[in-house]
Amino acid sequence: MKRILALCLLCVFCVTSTTHAQKRNKRKKKGVPEKVEKTENKEKKDKKDIKDYKDVVTKEAVTDSGLFQVHRVKKTYLYEIPFNVLEKDMLWVSRIAQIPSGLGGGFFNAGTKTNEQVVHWQRFQNKILLKVKSYRNVADSTKAISNSVRVNNYEPTLYAFDIKAFNEDSTAVVVDVTKLFSTDVKAISGLPSFLRKQYKVKRLDASRSFINSVKSYPLNIEVKQDFTYDASEPPTARSTESISLQMNQSMILLPEEPMQPRISDPRVGFFTVSQYDYGSDALKADEKTYIERWRLEPKDPEAYARGELVEPVKPIVYYLDPGTPENLQKYIKQGIEDWQKPFETAGFKNAIIAKDAPSPEEDPEFSPEDIRYSVVRYVASTTRNAVGPSVSDPRSGEIIESDIIWYHNHLRSYRNRYLLETGAANPSARTLNTPDEEIGEMMRMVIAHEVGHALGFPHNMAASYAYDVESYRDGAFTQENGIAASLMDYARYNYIAQPGDQNIRFVRQMGPYDHYAVNWGYRWLPNAKTPEAELATLNKWIVEKADNPVYKYGRQSSRFDPQSQTEGIGNDPIKASTYGLKNLRYVAQNLPAWTSDQTNNYQDLEELYGELLGVYSRYVGHVVTNIGGVYENLKNPDQSGVVYTHLDKNAQQESMQWLQENLFKTQDWLADASILQNIDHAGYFERMRRVQSRYLNGLLSFDRIGRLIDAETINQEYYSAYEMLSQLRKGLWSEASRGQSVDIYRRNLQKSYVDRMQFLMTDDGPPRRRGRPGFESTFVYDTNTSDIKSLVRGELTTLRSILRNAKNGNVNRITKYHYQDVIARIDALLDPK
């Protein structure tokens, strides 16, 4: 009986086991492992989260149609994204729409761009990803290497959204973007990390932050956000411990077919975009650099080909900020449309147009932040500046939109410099109330300059070197040519013209280089179907003009090049600065009469005296650049001559002598007691020391001395580092050689010299080049193995010997003390034991 019972139990167990095994085998036969079954269950659950369209976009929804349909359901914002725009490139631009006073130290304003990035929307399972895309590394998609480029440049995900619904015909997907625009997403925030640190920002306060509006247009979507941050040290209204600002997020669909790019040439100045092309036939990652420019194509290509002026299909239009003062509007419009003439040189008429902003009745949706509009923004700010930024398509360099920023107090900068730099030869500048037409003309030229940046042009600092110094005293020449060959130079005023010179133009204007550069960058070349096909024509245009200095481009970053100097004019810095200082002495003598005597207070006198020191400093700086100066004349190998040429020895020696006379010798005219004793109770000698020490340190820099040493490897006859240091020492310490007492200004300067020489003896020099690639200006080398420390030791040893004799001479007591102190400092440096 027991045996029968056991047998029955065994049969039941076998049947049960077989049943379970059969079920498992069935699953295996169907290819559905247990893990997959769990995944399927999860997917079923996820699909339940995708609701019917009508349950997401409810009857309460307020819909705005455009690039995407945007739905607002109470406080929720939904994007209905068509499948046919997924993976398409869009430019996302973040701007400040409203800003608290003082944020960013005055250089942030309504209209400031805080970020620019290419994005695309991508589907992944039941999510939509907002991906940030880079065109820095590229390859033709038909080549195998494009896969390597893709996997080695994985795109960051800016945000991930759950799919909420599909539209009724399943051609679009609906996502909730409320959190994207109501939380603190750093990549689109108006507060960069350095400002967060400066103002001790703790967090975004969600209770005081909200989406202001979301508007959809055919090619773009514009979002306004109001953000309030908790901050321990806000720039203004500190008791609130808060920073509130309004951001505008613009997203615009980039052209399906990018504009044909134009390959950059460093001999013509343009802002650029660069890519590394890994699909190139070159045996490297081939860097390709394209100029930034607007897309201008002729309405009538046949007429354009015949040489007729033709309007572009889409002109460049700038709108005036609705807040622009009425009395300045005409000058801003003139500054914008001054570029029409250079565009005519390129074959286009009415290529750039200024318009008033539409009224709310004419266009209730117009907004300066809308990326469809380029605007000259007028900023109520005490900042003295103007800028011309733009946004461009990184695939081609096509400029999509730009805003010119004019800060209100910039007018005061131009009034002050007009008085200081031209007042000696220009009677109408000798006032605090500059005539309206003259200040308007200055503003017009500044606006035109900033528009030039927005058209793609950087500063051309060689343009003012194109004209002979004496030409600036010729009325007919200045009226025709202005004061530089390009408006894009930092050459604001004619400070060379002397009292009695007639019919002088003192303010800059458009020049021949501007016409040349517009033609080079914007002329339409229909027969060239690729960027490479344009190169022969573009090179030919450059070579044709290469020997004419008015068509030379000089990079702003070339601090070593006497031809390319900020705020300089004329082709001889010594002669130009001599004229400039002669005029500045006249202005200094008359400054109280033109300011405090008229206003019965000293505020303007103090302000203008401080700026006068700045003008003096610039004139001096232009001559300093000659020491160790290297001319940079960019050219290709098929052009004759070399790119870099050292300034000749005589010119450098003459420059050092000029500096001894006009910088290091005490400038009594700058220490006018009738000014100093009315603007401050102290600090008179320190003002002078700062100016003198700035340029003394510049002369005694590793960079400059290194270039002088380097010049000896090219030609032993060049001005050497030893000759420069010897000439400098003899001039700075001339009282010791002549047995004279030393005044307070010179004592300060001489101690500054010893401090700087100590720096050269003990520091290892800059660790790396400064600046962007291709724009380096600091020469980096091993200072310990160079001649620098040997030269410094030799100079200090010689100086110590001279001072040991001089301290026992017929000099006053403070000079003796001064020499004893300097000797002790040198002893401590050379013989520390």
Residues 6+ apart with CB under 8 A from 561: 462, 554, 555, 625, 629, 630, 631, 632
Distance CA 677, CA 666 (A): 18
In degrees rounded to 5, what are phi and psi of residue 214? -135, 120
pLDDT for the residue 3:
47
- pLDDT tens-digit map of 503-534: 999 999 999 999 999 999 999 999 999 999 99
User: How would you label 102-134 residue by residue, b for 16+ Cβ within 10 Å and e otherwise?
Assistant: ebbebebbbbbbbebbbbbbbeeeeebbbbebe
pLDDT over 90, % of the chain: 75
For residue 807, how far is the Cα from the chain centroid? 52
Between 177-181, 225-229, 233-237, 303-307, the lowest mean confidence (pLDDT) is in: 233-237
Cα–Cα distance list, 200 to 191, 193, 237, 240, 644 (Å): 11, 10, 14, 13, 48
- Alpha-carbon torsion angle 614, 620, 621, 625, nearest 10: 170
Average pLDDT on 189-215 reads 92
pLDDT for the residue 44:
52
Give the tokens for residue 106. Answer: 């005055």
pLDDT for the residue 495:
98
Instruction: Please say if the pLDDT value at position 382 is more than 90.
Output: no
Q: Which amino acid is at 591?
A: L
pLDDT for the residue 250:
94
- Is the Cβ–Cβ distance between 362 and 354 less than 8 Å? no
CA angle (709 as vertex; 705, 714 as ends), nearest 5: 140
Check residues 776 and 722 and name the one with the higher pLDDT: 722
Average pLDDT on 755-776 reads 77
Taking each helix axis as running N to C, give the angle between helix 813-830 and helix 788-806, from 0 to 180 degrees, rounded to the nearest 10: 150
Average pLDDT on 378-391 reads 80
Instruction: Please say if the pLDDT value at position 31 is more than 80.
Output: no
pLDDT for the residue 37:
52
- Is the Cβ–Cβ distance between 799 and 830 less than 8 Å? no
Largest Cα span, the chain: 140
pLDDT for the residue 300:
97
- Is the Cβ–Cβ distance between 122 and 128 less than 8 Å? yes
Closest CA to 389 of 269, 271, 565: 271
pLDDT for the residue 195:
92
- Is the Cβ–Cβ distance between 486 and 448 less than 8 Å? no
pLDDT for the residue 423:
97
- pLDDT tens-digit map of 401-411: 998 888 877 88
- pLDDT tens-digit map of 326-345: 999 999 999 999 999 999 99
pLDDT over 70, % of the chain: 93
Give the tokens for residue 714. Answer: 């090219």
- pLDDT tens-digit map of 204-227: 999 999 999 999 999 999 999 999
Instruction: Please say if the pLDDT value at position 4 is more than 50.
Output: no
Residues 6+ apart with CB under 8 A from 117: 91, 92, 132, 133, 187
pLDDT for the residue 771:
53
Query: CB-based burial of residue 192 (10 Å sphere; 0-12 exposed, 13-18 middle, 19+ buried)?
Result: middle
Average pLDDT on 458-472 reads 96
**Which is it for strands 90-98 and 316-320: parallel, antiparallel or unpaired?**
unpaired
Determine if the pTM surpasses 0.75: yes
Instruction: Please say if the pLDDT value at position 773 is more than 90.
Output: no
pLDDT for the residue 539:
97
pLDDT for the residue 412:
87
Q: CA 729, 734, 736, 741 torsion: positive or negative?
A: negative
In degrees rounded to 5, what are phi and psi of residue 709? -65, -40
Closest CA to 489 of 404, 389, 564: 564
Instruction: Please say if the pLDDT value at position 17 is more than 50.
Output: no
Q: Per-residue confidence at 270, pLDDT binned at 50, 70, 90?
A: very high
Q: Name beta bridge partners: 398.
A: 293
- pLDDT tens-digit map of 650-678: 999 999 999 999 999 999 999 888 899 98
Between 8-17, 224-233, 498-507, 786-795, the lowest mean confidence (pLDDT) is in: 8-17
Instruction: Please say if the pLDDT value at position 783 is more than 60.
Output: yes
Give the tokens for residue 648. Answer: 């000749």
Residues 6+ apart with CB under 8 A from 798: 729
pLDDT for the residue 20:
47
For residue 494, how far is the Cα from the chain centroid? 26
Distance CA 386, CA 321 (A): 14
pLDDT for the residue 770:
57
Distance CA 23, CA 94 (A): 59
- pLDDT tens-digit map of 535-562: 999 999 999 999 999 999 998 766 899 9
Q: Per-residue confidence at 202, pLDDT binned at 50, 70, 90?
A: very high
In degrees rounded to 5, what are phi and psi of residue 281? -75, -10
Average model confidence (pLDDT) for the chain? 90
DSSP 484: S
**Which is it for strands 113-124 and 242-253: parallel, antiparallel or unpaired?**
unpaired
- Is the Cβ–Cβ distance between 352 and 343 less than 8 Å? yes
Distance CA 416, CA 408 (A): 14
Is 225 strand, coil or helix? Answer: strand
Instruction: Please say if the pLDDT value at position 478 is more than 70.
Output: yes
Instruction: Please say if the pLDDT value at position 398 is more than 50.
Output: yes
- Is the Cβ–Cβ distance between 700 and 756 less than 8 Å? yes
Between 28-37, 198-207, 381-390, 423-432, the lowest mean confidence (pLDDT) is in: 28-37
For residue 484, how far is the Cα from the chain centroid? 22
pLDDT for the residue 692:
95
Give the tokens for residue 304. Answer: 């354009």
Q: Per-residue confidence at 717, pLDDT binned at 50, 70, 90?
A: confident
Give the tokens for residue 48. Answer: 């339940």
For residue 286, how far is the Cα from the chain centroid? 26
Distance CA 279, CA 271 (A): 25
pLDDT for the residue 268:
97
